[in-house]
């Protein structure tokens, strides 16, 4: 029989090697970020919409952390997004307009809202979680609406002034600095999320998502893990709200609306959940389709967007890929069978 210590050591080595192998960067991942950086140089006229896509991608990434990896169904991510946006704006008005400090304040504000909310989420199933998160966002929306002396109410928070980034780069109206700044923040937070989901903590979240009872039976602390990931996702959403405030230098009640959370879920429907890039790709596709439809049919673009989303859900993400693979297989020349080693032809 094998020594138990030797067996446990070999298992630990195998687990570490597996985690290291799965955390390696693929060529498509590298290409994705290279294209994102290249867009700053080759698409200078599109920096405004690219900034919106980047901020939306970060919001979708925060939803993917709780939905795709922890299995927490939520409709209230706009609560942390809006609180982070208002916290950053108020900080810039009353304390300092330094952008990086504003991001930190927004992250703390988003986490401060997510932490007590996560304790409520542990008490129910998916439907209860939907209602709780939706209710929290609705309460914060009405509070912001009534506290006009602080938030500006329906008129929005005005008078926001953001200092130049690092004291050199001004936030211009063309979005040149805004896109580079938002993309850099997205990349740093994406790296952190990638490390988390590729760690033992991330794999424990997947186990909780698949079967909470089994995860608890094998010793995984289910409730603390869910609280931790929901709080982290709240910080991510707060940073996304701060990026919007800093690049637009204005914030309104729309940041706390139900529409903001619904848009984030639609992005994940397009891109897919549970692999981080779903939110990024979904935000890109969603924003480009919305921009194209609004320019073609300014009055009815939401109708056509709804039709496309319904068709996308009915068709699915896998069916187009299967069709392309089937066509590629038919167009490619048939492969000749390779000779089997040790066959009669290979014998003398």
The domain of 268 spans 42-280
Lowest mean pLDDT among 145-149, 183-187, 188-192: 145-149
In the prediction, which pLDDT does 343 show? 47
Residue 339: pLDDT band with limits 50, 70, 90: low
What's the mean pLDDT in 23-48? 87
Instruction: Tell whether the model's pLDDT for residue 134 goes beyond 80.
Output: yes
Q: How confident is the model at residue 81 (pLDDT cuts 50, 70, 90)?
A: very high
Q: Region 44-58: what's the mean pLDDT?
A: 90
In sequence order, which residues have a C-beta less than 8 Å from that of residue 9 and are 6 or more positions away?
none
Q: What is the pLDDT of residue 232?
A: 94
**Is residue 170 in some structural domain?**
yes
In the predicted structure, residue 234 carries a pLDDT above the cut 90:
yes
* Residue 149 counted as domain residue: yes
**Does the structure show a pLDDT above 80 at 63?**
yes
Using the predicted structure, report yes or no on whether residue 322 has a pLDDT greater than 90: no
> Average pLDDT of 242-252?
89
Please tell me the total count of domains within the chain: 1
Domain membership flag for residue 136: yes
Q: Does pLDDT of 192 surpass 70?
A: yes
Write down the mean pLDDT value for the chain: 82
Instruction: State yes or no: pLDDT of 298 exceeds 90.
Output: no
**Does 182 fall in a domain?**
yes
Structure confidence at residue 107 (pLDDT): 95
Is the pLDDT score of 30 beyond 80? yes
Of the spans 106-120, 123-137, 319-333, which averages the highest pLDDT?
106-120
Q: What is the mean pLDDT of residues 31-47?
A: 90
Q: 3-state SS string over the chain?
A: CCCHHHHHHHHHHHHHHHHHHHCCCCHHHHHHHHHHHHHHHHCHHHHHHHHHHHHHHHHHHHHHHHHCCCCCCCCCHHHHHHHHHHHHHHHHHHCCCCHHHHHHHHHHHHHHHHHHHHHHHCCCCHHHHHHHHHHHHHHHHHHHHHCHHHHCHHHCECCCCCCCECCCECCCCCCHHHHHHHHHHHHHHHHHHHHHHCCHHHHHHHHHHHCHHHHHHCCCCHHHHHHHHHHHHHHHHHHHHHHHHHHHCCECHHHHCHHHHHHHHHHHHHHCCCCCHHHHHHHHHHHHHHHHHHHHCCCCHHHHHHHHHHHHHHHCCHHHHHHHHHHHHHHCCCCCCCCCCCCCCCCC
265 falls within a domain:
yes
Q: What is the mean pLDDT of residues 213-227?
A: 88
Mean pLDDT of 91-117: 91
Mean pLDDT of 221-226: 90
- Average pLDDT (90-116) is 91
Confidence of residue 84 (pLDDT cuts 50, 70, 90): very high
pLDDT, residue 312, reads 74
Long-range Cβ contact pairs of 142-148 (< 8 A, separation 24 or more): 144/82, 144/86, 144/253, 144/256, 145/253
pLDDT computed for residue 344 by the predictor: 45
In a domain, 173, yes or no: yes
Does position 92 have pLDDT exceeding 70, yes or no?
A: yes
**Average of per-residue pLDDT across 154-178:** 82
Least confident range from 41-45, 67-71, 115-119, 319-323: namely 319-323
Average pLDDT value for residue range 23-38: 86
Mean pLDDT in residue range 242-267: 87
pLDDT at position 18 is: 63
Tokens representing 20 are 């290291």
β-strand partners of 251: 157
Evaluate whether residue 213 is within a structural domain. yes
- Give the pLDDT score at 238: 94
Q: What is the CA radius of gyration of the chain?
A: 24
Q: By percentage, how much of the chain surpasses pLDDT 90?
A: 25
| Residue 228 belongs to a domain | yes
Determine the pLDDT at residue 327: 53
């Amino acid at each position: 029989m094998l020594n138990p210590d030797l067996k446990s050591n070999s298992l630990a080595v195998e687990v570490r090697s597996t985690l290291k192998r799965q955390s390696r960067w693929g060529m498509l991942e590298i290409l994705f970020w290279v294209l994102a950086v290249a867009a700053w140089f080759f698409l200078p006229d599109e920096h405004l919409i690219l900034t919106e896509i980047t901020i939306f991608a970060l919001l979708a990434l925060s939803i993917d952390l709780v939905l795709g990896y922890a299995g927490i169904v939520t409709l209230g991510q706009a609560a942390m997004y809006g609180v982070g946006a208002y916290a950053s704006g108020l900080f810039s008005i009353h304390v300092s307009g330094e952008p990086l400090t504003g991001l930190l304040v927004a992250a703390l504000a988003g986490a401060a809202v997510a932490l007590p909310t996560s304790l409520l989420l542990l008490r129910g199933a998916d439907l209860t979680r939907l209602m709780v998160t939706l209710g929290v966002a609705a309460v914060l929306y009405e509070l912001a609406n009534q506290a006009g002396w602080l938030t500006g109410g329906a008129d929005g928070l005005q008078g926001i002034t953001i200092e130049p980034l690092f004291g050199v780069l001004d936030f211009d109206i063309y979005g040149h600095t805004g896109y580079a700044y938002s993309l850099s923040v997205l990349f740093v937070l994406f790296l952190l999320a990638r490390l988390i989901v590729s760690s033992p903590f991330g794999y424990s979240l997947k186990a909780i998502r698949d079967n909470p009872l089994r995860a608890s039976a094998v010793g995984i602390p289910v409730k603390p893990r869910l609280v931790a990931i929901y709080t982290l996702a709240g910080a991510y959403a707060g940073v996304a709200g701060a990026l919007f405030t800093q690049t637009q230098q204005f914030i309104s009640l729309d940041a706390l609306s139900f529409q903001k959370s619904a848009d984030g879920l639609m992005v994940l429907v397009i891109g897919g959940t549970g692999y981080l890039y779903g939110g990024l790709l979904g935000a890109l596709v969603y924003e480009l389709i919305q921009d194209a439809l609004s320019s073609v049919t300014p009055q009815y673009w939401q109708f056509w967007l709804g039709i496309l989303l319904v068709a996308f859900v009915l068709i699915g993400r896998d069916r187009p890929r299967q069709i392309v693979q089937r066509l590629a297989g038919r167009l490619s020349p048939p492969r000749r069978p390779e000779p089997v080693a040790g066959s009669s032809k290979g014998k003398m």
